[in-house]
Amino acid sequence: MSRNPNAAAASRSADEVVRFDDVSMRYGRGPEVLSDLNFALPPGSFHFVTGPSGAGKSSLLKLIYLAARPSKGLIHLFGEDVAHLPPSARPRLRRRIGVVFQDLLLLEHLSAFDNAALPLRIAGRKPAEYRADVAELLSWVGLGGRMHAMPPTLAGGERQRLAIARAVVARPDILLADEPTGNVDHEMAVRIFRLFVELNRLGTTVVIATHDQDLIARSGKPVLLLEHGRISTRPLQGPVLL
């Protein structure tokens, strides 16, 4: 007896938080930035995305975050076909995704505490409901004594960790990070990476776009390699040395 294809698809999507099927992307009428991407990310996985400058790493993250649309192919997030989602449903999916942007996008006029709490405020939660949780998270990322500091007074590594705290405060199912260690020294890069590992242990699917080949090689995590707009996978790099 043949298997019901819809049941098979539902079973498969239950084991995936992200799935790309023959996905391509271009900006306007320009050449394709990404071509025929096929991959899936299971819940609780941890992947690096790497490749030369211009390979499309940031574009790939934008597609996952629903900040861009593919020019071809299908994207499924949490088992839902993104192409057929009404606009009103997109915020619901985005709330399940935390993003550490390459330029951080901190609000300079808000304190570290208020920057970190911003996703919870947007979701309609009251300060009394989240004050203790945000304070605990900032302490966890090493900013317990800087909660009332304004972003311009924070060092580069502190700003990075604040952006990470903001990205994870709502306990997202997926964390996307675009070059999160690009502007910090090696010691801070290792510390940030350990924060991501701990989040992953708590069940968050983590995707990090980076040029940091040393961090990748030492991490023991699998890699999605982008070259000429196409993707290939690397196996685990070996034991974790961090």
pLDDT of residue 2: 42
pLDDT in tens, 205-222: 999 999 888 888 888 899
pLDDT of residue 145: 94
Give DSSP secondary structure letters for the chain: -PPPHHHHHHHHHHT-SEEEEEEEEESTTS-EEEEEEEEEE-TT-EEEEE-STTSSHHHHHHHHHTSS--SEEEEEETTEEGGG--GGGHHHHHTTEEEE-TT----TTS-HHHHHHHHHHHTT--HHHHHHHHHHHHHHTT-GGGTT--GGGS-HHHHHHHHHHHHHTT--SEEEEESTTTTS-HHHHHHHHHHHHHHHHTT-EEEEE---HHHHHHHT--EEEEETTEEEEE---SS---
pLDDT of residue 65: 93
For domain 43-67+87-234, the CATH class is alpha beta
Q: Where do the domains of the chain lie? A: 43-67+87-234
pLDDT in tens, 10-57: 445 568 999 999 999 999 888 999 999 999 999 999 999 999 888 899
Higher pLDDT, 135 or 84: 135
- pLDDT of residue 241 exceeding 50, the answer is no
pLDDT in tens, 81-90: 998 888 888 8
Poorest-pLDDT segment among 7-11, 226-230, 231-235:
7-11
Task: Give this prediction's pTM.
Answer: 0.84
Supply the mean pLDDT for the chain: 87
pLDDT of residue 234: 63
